[in-house]
Amino acid sequence: MPFFNFPFTADKTVKNRALIVSVGNFYPGEDLSKRHGVKRDNQRLHEILSKLGFSVKIIMDIEADEIYEAFKAESKKTVKDCFVGVISSHGEEGVVFGADGGAVKLAEIYSYFRGPSMADKSKLFMIQACRGHGLDEGVEADSSFSEEEDGVCELFSIPIDTAVMYATSPGYGAFMHPAGSELIQTFCNLLEEEGGPDLEITRLLTRINFQVAYNFKSRGKTLGGKKQMPCFVTRFTREVFPFRKMAAEEDLSLNFAATQLIDEPKRSRKSSIS
């Protein structure tokens, strides 16, 4: 068996970081509707991730090129154990739109995080986008890139030790409210629940799947059907706990994204959600 390569950072001044890029207002003539709720999402993400020790940067309403630049710049810095990237905008398959209506290929964003600064760090992306074909007709992906140029499959461009959570709302309005998007608000709720930040990442994301899926079903019937729910893709090779705050901050051997390959206990346990 191979060795365990711990994402160990001795420098205590290096923090975990989050970059939140959200587009709520598009340039006139772009035929992309204003997205209410974006500010509320940003505020809560900032508040909760900061409390959990992340250095959080928020950038709003930037153009497609600027979105690429923002993530490229972030990918060249390092983090203690974990980087969280959030993108919230209108989207199409594999792309989201900048304020100028330009398409941002998600595959390209992910691929930046293959570099040495981010090696062995946990990376989590949350994509609040992917609009349904039934709504907002007339929006097309920017035609400046072709299939040939775009050889990288989105799924397979995701680096090692990375997960991507997709809101996947074919029927966009169902998931974005003035009070914030289902995906981001559920993520924030879980991180505020007792024990939430202690959850192993795939367990946390599975709970988001559950809560968004069933919250959504209970609300609207017009866009009904089970497919309006999130999913996540993971290339994590370890079990990681990126939001866990240790009592003893100086205990670095446990403080980073704890690596555990463990036995599943066989006893059944009580639900923490009722």
> Where on the chain is the footprint of a copy of itself (CB under 8 A)?
1-2, 93-94, 114, 119, 130, 133, 151, 153-160, 166, 168, 170, 195, 198-200, 202-203, 205-207, 209-210, 213-215, 217-218, 226-227, 229-239, 241, 254, 258, 260-266, 268-274
Residues 6+ apart with CB under 8 A from 27: 99, 100, 101
CB of 102 to a copy of itself, least distance (A): 20
CB of 27 to a copy of itself, least distance (A): 26
Tokens, residue 265: 């206990």
Tell me which of 46, 82, 130, 133 is the catalytic residue.
Answer: 130
Cβ closer to a copy of itself: 57 or 114?
114
Residue 99: is it exposed, middle or buried by C-beta count within 10 angstroms (0-12/13-18/19+)? Answer: buried
CB of 165 to a copy of itself, least distance (A): 10
| Cα 215 → chain centroid | 19
What is the distance between the alpha carbons of residues 48 and 18, in angstroms, rounded to a whole number?
A: 11
Contact 69, 59 (CB under 8 A): no
Tell me which of 36, 90, 133, 188 is the catalytic residue.
Answer: 90
Closest CA to 240 of 262, 264, 208, 210: 262
Cβ closer to a copy of itself: 42 or 186?
186
Cβ closer to a copy of itself: 134 or 178?
134
What is the distance between the alpha carbons of residues 209 and 110, in angstroms, rounded to a whole number?
A: 22
Cβ closer to a copy of itself: 42 or 169?
169
Question: Is 130 part of the annotated catalytic residue set?
Answer: yes
Catalogue the active-site residues. Answer: 90, 130
